[in-house]
Amino acid sequence: MKKIRVRYAPSPTGHLHIGNARTALFNYLFARHHGGEFIIRIEDTDLKRNIDEGEKSQLENLAWLGIEWDESPEKPGKYAPYRQSERKEIYQPLIDQLLASNRAYKCYCTEEELEEEREAQRSRGEIPRYSGTCSQLSVEEQMAKEAEGIQPVVRFRVPRNAEYRFDDLVKGEIVFESDNVGGDFVILKRDGMPTYNFAVTVDDHEMQITHVLRGDDHIANTPKQMMIYEAFGWDYPQFGHMTLIINSETGKKLSKRDGGILQFIEQYRELGYLPEAMFNFITLLGWSPVGEEEIFSPAQLIEMFDANRLSKSPAAFDAKKLEWINNHYIKQMDLEDLTKMAIPYLVTEGRLEAELSPERFAWIQKIVALYQPQMSFAAEIVELSNLFFTDHPVLDEAAKEVLAGESVPVVLEAFKAQLETMEVVDAPTVKAAIKAVQKETGIKGKNLFMPIRVAVSGQTHGPELPDTVELLGREKALAHLNQVL
């Protein structure tokens, strides 16, 4: 059996999008599950749209996710080069071959003429398609056009009344009529660069790609690529088109205009999401394991990945589920590692100095420990730990309600006296002090704890009260108490 070879082929036109990351991830899991090879190829023929650092950003973010590849531009194998812009010498002889066999022809129509033709078709209620104006030009007519200085494109002759069918890995059998693909399509642009459909077909064949797994927005390209395979007498790879990712709230395709959803891997990295959590979450977007479990390591996902379990229905992007999965991984983290991850966010906010003494680090580590069970991502530490870095916060209605209780002044005065006389302010001593206040005042339960919590922290909910007082320190805790009193 032929060795499985799959590829992820991004354009260097922007950062790594969730949808593209999923394509890369499914290809990677498929290859590794079958002991095959995973290749990265850069599709950079659209020179106008390429951005500096686009390729670097794609590769860095894929590596961060934990995806490893066997061949790429910076890890070339025997099918190099891996950038389409460097493969023109491979494409040109094949274009010439199609021209010589009359499977393609030069087209001299200008953009203005083509737009005019499309407008006329639209006005007649027809779907715009190239009518084949240049498909039968004689050699003399072609020479006359070139004498005028018109740079031609090359178009592929679409077979008439032909049927193209393939068994899609995800969707089952798909059938296309050749007359519905929009007429003879361009395979070589005026600038000498091949178009996507031509280059991708040639590259997949030349690089021995056995399976093409991609988003289902590529389905319409498949018959065009099959025509090119057929024209050269090449075997098709097995195609599989994954369903789109939709916004779970609107039910519509995830759009880059969906302001409420972060859509680029870089944005999640910047917020302090963990790569293994992202790997886990993205794999569940359009693929389901057997059973109810949802937390898996990359090794487990490689072992269990089955392309037959790719979903036929759109995958809903659920930001809350991602937070839940990331929280699971954060709870498993080593506390010191999580603290080191959280510190830069506090430094950026001006709450911590860049260089921390061992004592200061130990203090911040205790704060991180308080919030580790509830943190969804590392940047959240800024908001969660507010009370340790700001003056007494503004009290909300619930906090004011607690402080309106009849016995509140008695409790707070008694606790203040305890706090002032403590030799050491730590959690066990604070716990003992609260018990002493209970004994002294006869007040217990909520009426005892809640006024102290609100007065010290300004919050009705939060970490354990003794821990909170210890980390605030005597001076700050007293200042807050006095302000309330």
Residue of 256, 439, 444, 446 marked catalytic: 256
- Does the annotation list 256 as a binding residue? yes
Q: How far apart are CA 11 and CA 41, in angstroms?
A: 9
Active site annotation includes 312 = no
Measured in whole angstroms, the distance separating CA 472 from the mean position of its chain's CA atoms is 38
Omega before residue 275 within 30° of 0, cis: no
The answer to whether the CB of 213 falls within 8 A of the CB of 26 is yes
The phi, psi pair for 257, rounded to 5°, reads -90, -5
The DSSP string of 384-426 is HTGGGTSSSPPP-HHHHHHHTSTTHHHHHHHHHHHHHH-SS--
Query: How deeply is 282 buried, as exposed, middle or buried, from its count of CB atoms within 10 A (0-12, 13-18, 19+)?
Result: buried
153-156 vs 5-8, strand pairing mode? unpaired
The DSSP 8-state label assigned to residue 244 in this structure reads P
Q: Which of 55, 67, 57, 52 is nearest to 22 (CA)?
A: 67
First to last CA, the chain: 80
User: At what angle are helices 358-371 and 465-484 packed, to 10 degrees?
Assistant: 100
The DSSP 8-state label assigned to residue 463 in this structure reads S
5-8 vs 37-40, strand pairing mode? parallel
Residues making up the annotated binding site are 256
Question: Residue positions in the annotated binding site for ATP?
Answer: 256
Active-site annotation, residues: 256
